[in-house]
Structure 1
């Protein structure tokens, strides 16, 4: 909006929902997330009460229930921050590429991070969590750059269809490379296979604290890129005409998304569909303004992953189903329903 009170072109393009309504939706999503966090601590192979949660928060782990709560709290925290990171990175990737099918899984970013971690583990003896995170971010960046370069070849540049095809082909190739690296190494095969499914079951406060600085940097970069993403939604030519530095805006936003994807994958393994489904659902509720879409995608992504983790624990008691499987089962049919709606056929 200009000083005279008139709307600029980017503002006209994003006015879709009243601000008060969007605020109500955001508060409602935060409330749902809070309830899911409480349920995540209470529900499992053995249900516990609120008094056990209070006792565990106070430092008491004498009883079995208090000990169970003490293990579930870091798991819940990791599910929240990982879901927030995946939800926001998906929204950013869809905004950068203007591709409704953009997602860390479909574009091969998660598998790029996975391959880098597996190579580091198999051939370079990586052992510390911090080294895994750096390697995963580097792998995610290389995969994202490769897919965008391949998708940009030929007439028309990086169209949504070419990016989706390049991402699908790259994902298939990277998955084969991961298998090729792991098969000869029986000493790491079991752990890698479990990690490749994607889950938050082995969470601890130590691992969460090690990945948190990387995620905070990624969140900050993405938030600062919100207005640039609004301009990119108008098309590169119009965005440049309005004074936006298109290459810098796209590069900065992509960097934030890659950091979020890589760091999350290093800790949880590749988890699919969160970054694909969540931004579409958010657009139906609050519109396309990235200044609202990004925080809402983070909250809804956290709620989706936390809820999926709860479902995985309930579905196979006394065992559990990894959250990566649950998000795939939830996300695939929900995404088909979303893309069939007129409102989200294009960004």
Structure 2
């Protein structure tokens, strides 16, 4: 069997490493299985892409389609044009996509139009919010997928409700948490730790990149002002996504406690997250990682496709109203944040008694 494994945007790079490792182990045991790693080229900044391959021991891609830049439509169209040529030149029995970025959808469409089966890792998660580009990507991808490798009971239930048969759904856990647990002993202290004299549980980490929070400059400024005001006296470490950086460049946001830095590599970023008092974010993946590490998390969104991070985890949805930030941080400082329960989200194996057994 020949598998094309797709590495799209930064959140999906770490999800493919356990998959590639499993393919290699199966091949070593004599199974007829090979893979070709296709890199979208979406994140061309070293810390947004290349460092992940180096740090996480992900093999160098067999091909880089260099489809970075442009709007979502331009990017998806560019990927489809380039991947069609790639798949025609290097046919596969299966195209394996992960996550919910535009590349996930684009690769799936090309594969199905070329009569190639598609496997989706992390299918079935839903926010119910069609204003999110990711929700469209999830729905389209899942509507044409052949094999579904789910990360949670909730995702499996969503898929079952669409009428999918058990033999197409495999509850395998979350590969992003697999790799987090694998590399946790290797987390690396970034130079800014000593430069800023950071101390464990005495600073906050924040990330913002979703259009609902950053596209409107006045909204972004109000969020930033409120976060800085409410978090006094703690330092705020803010690795700034390139898209967010462009918008921030038009705003006058400059506080001594706010440290806007370049995106960090995986090992350095998670070193900071693991030791933070809390994380403020609008990322879905980070809510899973903070839950796995027992770190309080505040999510600046009105909905989530990962409800487990709230029901058994350390995450709380604050919404996108800046006024919700101060009460949440006050609760954190008072020591009243929920602890969360043990989070068996990874493990990389199909759970006994789950759908697909």
Q: TM-score when scaled to structure 1? A: 0.27
Q: TM-score when scaled to structure 2? A: 0.26
- Structure number with the bigger relative contact order (C-alpha 8 A, sep ≥ 6) is 1
Bigger fraction of residues in strand: 2
